[in-house]
Amino acid sequence: MNGSWNYILRRLLYLIPVLLGVCLLIFVLFNLVAPDPAALLLGKHATPEQILEVRQNLGLTKPLYEQYFDVVKSAFTFDFGRSWKTKQSITTMIRLRAIPSLTVSLPAFVFSTILSILFALLVAYYRGKGIDLFVRVSCIAMMSISSLAYILFFQWFFAYKMEWFEILGYEPGFPSVLPFISLPIIIWVILSLGPDIRFYRTVILDEIYQDYVRTAKAKGLSDRKVLLKHVLRNAMIPILTYTVIQLPFLLLGALLLESFFSIPGLGDMTIEALNESDFPVLKAMAILSAVAYVTFTLIQDILYTWVDPRVKLN
Amino acid sequence: MENTIKIKSRSVWSDAWDRLKRDKLAMVSLGVIIIYAVVAILSATGLLAADWDQKVGESYMAPTTEKISLLFGTDIFGYSVLRKVIHGTQIAMSVGLISTLIAIPIGISLGALAGYFGKWIDEAVVWFYTTFSSVPGIMLLMSIAFAFGKGLTTLYIALGLTSWVGLCRLIRGEVMKHKNREYVQAATAIGAGNGRKLFIHIIPNVIHLVIINASLQFQVAIKSEVILSYLGLGVTGQPSWGTMIDDAKQELAQGVWWQLAGATFAMFFVVLAFNILGDALRDALDPKLKGK
């Protein structure tokens, strides 16, 4: 037990250099490489005095190490300042926008995970037969179509032409939100099926050739029982770690889906910020998504050692 | 020395090629990729579809088989959608190629250095790629593309800089495994230096990973071009599959589907071919992984 606490502590400490690195990357991109925000804000006809004033207000005249320190500070305090466009506090914006994102991404994630695992079990059961080949080829084919093409076509066909769903928009509240989020959820599920089924199929096939499966069969268990009781339980380890690492992306929402369906989530906010060159919001989203990602990688690692005692803690 | 019998040895590569040749689907995919590459080269040299910005008819003419240039119909300006698709092929293939060419040297050199020398070099490289991979792909891509300003060069840089991490990880792990193998010890015994061991002995043994990785990376780049162009961070002033799909956003409601269909199908076949070839290459070059 001592070993695992040591491991967790070491992993926690390792977050610090990684987050400092992320801040450095974002600092380099936005403070060094990106075009001068003052010029962007003021337009072409700004006088040098105006530009200098704006640069001073934005803290861009500070020495570089202080600017870097500001980025680091925001990553550890979650205080990202205010949006240049809406003048709102970015932390408040993120809190408000996170709910619509999760309203779409959470059910979509649950449906797609369950469906993919079911499909993967089915094709693993019929491995090497026609249905297995068919599903595998369909997965690759589905992954080869641009996600934009799916969104455009589904939105046009099912919402615009068939009028089964709202074309775009969002209304909070339980039943009223459904016509707005159903189609984005369906598209999300379809987009995830290809890669997910492929992954889960590999995971399940890895287990199917293990000795314990042969033993279970030898003692007379049916194929179905072996698959559902033994194989699925052992496959839970990679399945769990695979799903945990997807969680931070749920918060970010689906950038494109939210933008196409005008769902006021974090993805939509990010794309708006991109179009408006709203630096602080873009920086905040980059930092926030990185923090979420490293946190969940840590959780994934800990879970991994916890559910599988064979994994050595190094 | 004169009595030495020369045995013609079969290289790993010819073995792999033989395995690949037996995979009919993979050979078809290779054929498709070669066709796309030829179209891209012809377009880049101005022999094909250089006149994409010439009117061939009215605005939004539906596809017809009367004229080749009208095969996929016309866009809002009366330009030929077929020519735009061909020009888009050139953009897509060059984005795939150049971003892969940027990512490969970074991935190989950092991965090999980290795996071979270990210690602080390894720690520094691991920190470096952990940092890069900690910002979720699309956010990093957007940030880089935003910082460098829109355009084709930005696409190359952004996609190149975001796609070396996977290869670097793979190479690092393999080099670590190989550096203690007997053949490397033998090289040490006859006095080979670090550079020789790494470049002459170890790297040729892990280079197949680069080919598998490049094949899969290529299609990721093609797909990302479409998304970045939609976000307004990609190509400007010339047609690409991304800008064509972006145009379709306004067109579908008017019943104009051919621009979306043209770009989507053009992209579908080449991405599918790279996906299938990538899988087949992995099976052919790395038989240990077969079926996984």
Q: Could you give the CA distance from residue B161 to residue B157 in angstroms, rounded to a whole number?
A: 6
| Residues 193-252, chain A, touching B (beta carbon < 8 A) | 202, 205-206, 248-249, 252
Which site among B146, B218, B249, B265 would you substitute to test the A interface, given the most A Cβ atoms closer than 10 Å to its Cβ?
B146
Nearest chain A residue to B231 by CA: give it: A271
Could you read off the pLDDT tens digit of each residue along chain B, which spans 292 residues? 556 666 666 777 787 888 888 888 889 999 999 999 999 999 888 888 777 788 777 777 778 777 777 777 887 777 888 888 999 999 999 999 999 999 999 999 999 999 889 889 999 999 999 998 888 888 888 888 888 888 888 889 889 988 899 899 999 988 988 888 888 888 888 888 888 888 888 888 888 888 888 888 888 899 988 888 888 888 888 889 988 988 888 888 888 888 898 899 999 999 999 998 988 888 888 755 544 4
Name the DSSP letter for residue B146.
Answer: H
Q: At what angle do helices A90-125 and A232-244 cross, to 10 degrees?
A: 150
* Domain presence at residue B9: no
A22 interface with B at CB cutoff 8 Å: yes
Q: What is the pLDDT of residues A170-213, one digit of tens each?
A: 888 778 888 888 899 999 999 999 999 989 988 888 888 888 88
Is B135–A289 a contact, with Cβ atoms under 8 angstroms apart? yes
Q: Could you give the CA distance from residue B247 to residue B240 in angstroms, rounded to a whole number?
A: 11
Structural domain count, chain B: 1
Structure tokens at B73: 């119909």
* Domain presence at residue B290: no
Structure tokens at B245: 């799909």
CB contact burial B136-165 (16+ within 10 A = b; e otherwise): bebbbbbbbbbbbebebebbbbbbbbbbbb
Is A149–B252 a contact, with Cβ atoms under 8 angstroms apart? no
B262: phi then psi, degrees, rounded to nearest 5:
-60, -50
Structure tokens at B246: 């972006």
What domain range includes position B94?
19-285
Q: What is the CATH number of the domain that holds B100?
A: 1.10.3720.10
Q: What is the pLDDT of residues A12-23, one digit of tens each?
A: 888 899 999 999
Q: Could you give the CA distance from residue B251 to residue B272 in angstroms, rounded to a whole number?
A: 26
Domains of chain A and CATH, by start = 18-77 (no CATH), 98-307 (1.10.3720.10)
| Residues 147-166, chain A, touching B (beta carbon < 8 A) | 147-149, 152-153, 156, 160
Structure tokens at A230: 């033994």
| Residues 221-260, chain B, touching A (beta carbon < 8 A) | 223, 226-227, 230-233, 241-242, 245-246, 248-249, 252-253, 260
Angle CA(B224)–CA(B228)–CA(B231) in degrees, nearest 5?
A: 145
* Min Cα separation B251/chain A (Å): 10
Which chain B residues are closer than 8 Å to A145 by Cβ? Answer: 264, 267-268, 271
Which site among A152, A162, A282 would you substitute to test the B interface, given the most B Cβ atoms closer than 10 Å to its Cβ?
A152
pLDDT beyond 60 at A57:
yes
**Chain-centre distance of CA B4, in angstroms?**
44
Side-chain half-sphere exposure of B162, counting CA atoms within 13 A? 24
Contact A166, A178 (CB under 8 A): no
Nearest chain A residue to B126 by CA: give it: A18
